[in-house]
Amino acid sequence: MLRNLKFRLGRTLFLLPFMALATLNHGFSHEPTNSKKISGPQRREVRIPIRDFRLIDQNGRSFDFKTVRDKVVVLAFAYTTCPDVCPLTTAAMRQIQMGFDRIERSSVYFITVTTDPEVDNPKVLAVYAKRYGVDLSDWAFVTGEEVVLRGIWKNFGVQVVRKARGLVDHTSLTAVIDRTGTMRFAYYGTAPDPKVVIEDVRSLLAHRSNS
Amino acid sequence: MYAKREFVNLMRLLLLVAISFAVTGCGRNQRMDRLYAERCLGCHGSFGRGDGPVTVSLPARLPDFRETVQRKSTGQIRRIISEGRGIMPGFDPALRPAEITDMVEMVRFLSREGRDVSWWEKYDTLVVAHCSVPWDLFLGYDDAPEEKRVEKP
């Protein structure tokens, strides 16, 4: 009798999680919602000095911003598992890279700085770059210690808020930095128009040629 | 005699579990909805029709799950979600296998809405009924697997 009671009790306990799950099942009537709004691109002319930084690139090698000081730099903030603006930003950067001829390319450098160092290690960044067909001869995807990245984000005025693993809210910024290390153009919101960025970069390249 | 009775009881129990699976199936749950809203909705839209808010900035039309998912195996859907495709991010570095399973199931649910399901899809709920088992309690849903942990550069 006692054994039977134990069995029944055990059976009830075993079924409890399934019953609870059945209660949690919501059927098909509801829909997930996302109130996130994506603002259109905004271009601003700025003059913000950018400090040198040292991070790790997609090959696991040290990347020193000083080494590209003699070039005009197009730099964007993104992370690999970003579900909204970052893929567009990286695709736009790729278009910008392809928009320059060989001579111009020798004077321009591209950098993507992660906003999610927790997930974006060099290996993950390398896979990401490969998926976009990026020419890595003049483009570095960089990551590093969060404390170092925080200083860089702050320098560029980028706010980063971690929401979950692989999910980060951050200021969507693509920046053009001149050869003196000063940020001259900032594009906020959705991915920048590649044609506009190319023209802005060319204006900085021409400035050097004329001077 | 006692062993036989125990066996019969066990069979009854299994039958009960099977019926509860058949009734409850692998219904959509809040975890799936949250994952979908956070990671997929922006592009794929609330109903998986490829009309999320981000699509206005995309050069190409996104697929409607009702047209494409039916022709794909669970493995294929899983691979796309894990590794990404085109500019769609791969979620494998960030999500746990159980979470990717949730996304696969969510995509399947959305693909069935508003269309006549194939005969085999009617049994899909039973086939995937194991997702109603609270695996996370046994397998540690909240613990990131060792290989997913951050590799410090």
- The residue extents of the domains of chain B are 2-143
| Mutate: best of B57, B79, B131, partner A, most A CBs <10 A | B57
The more confident residue out of B18 and A34 is: B18
What kind of fold does domain B2-143 have according to CATH? Cytochrome Bc1 Complex; Chain D, domain 2 (1.10.760)
- Which residues in B lie closer than 8 A to residue A38 (C-beta atoms)? 42, 53-54, 57
d(CA B3, CA B82): 47
Cβ distance of B144 and A165 shorter than 8 Å: yes
Least confident of A3-12, A78-87, A94-103, A153-162: A3-12
Q: With a threshold of 0.90, does the pTM exceed it?
A: no
Q: How many CA atoms lie within 13 A of A9 on its CB side?
A: 6
Taking contacts as CB-CB distances below 8 angstroms, the residues of chain A near B33 are 26, 30, 32
CB distance B105 to B60 below 8 Å: no
Query: Is residue A23 predicted with pLDDT exceeding 50?
Result: no
Quick check: A82 pLDDT over 50? Answer: yes
CA-CA distance, A178 to A71, in Å (whole number)? 7
Q: Phi-psi region for residue A110, left (φ > 0), alpha (ψ -120 to 50) or beta?
A: beta
In a mutational test of the A interface, the residue from B13, B16, B54 whose CB has the highest number of chain A CBs within 10 Å is B54
For the domain spanning A42-210, the CATH number is: 3.40.30.10
What are the domain boundaries of chain A?
A: 42-210
Q: How high is the pLDDT of residue B122?
A: 60
Share of chain A above pLDDT 70, in %: 79
Contact assignment for A24 to B29 by CB distance below 8 Å: yes
Nearest CA in chain A to B110: A28
pLDDT at A71: 96
pLDDT by residue for chain B (153 residues), tens only, comes to 677 888 888 888 777 766 665 555 556 778 889 999 999 999 999 999 999 998 888 878 888 998 888 788 888 999 999 999 988 999 999 999 989 988 998 998 888 876 666 666 665 655 555 555 555 555 555 554 444 544 444
ipTM: 0.75
DSSP A189: S
* For range A79-95, the mean pLDDT: 94
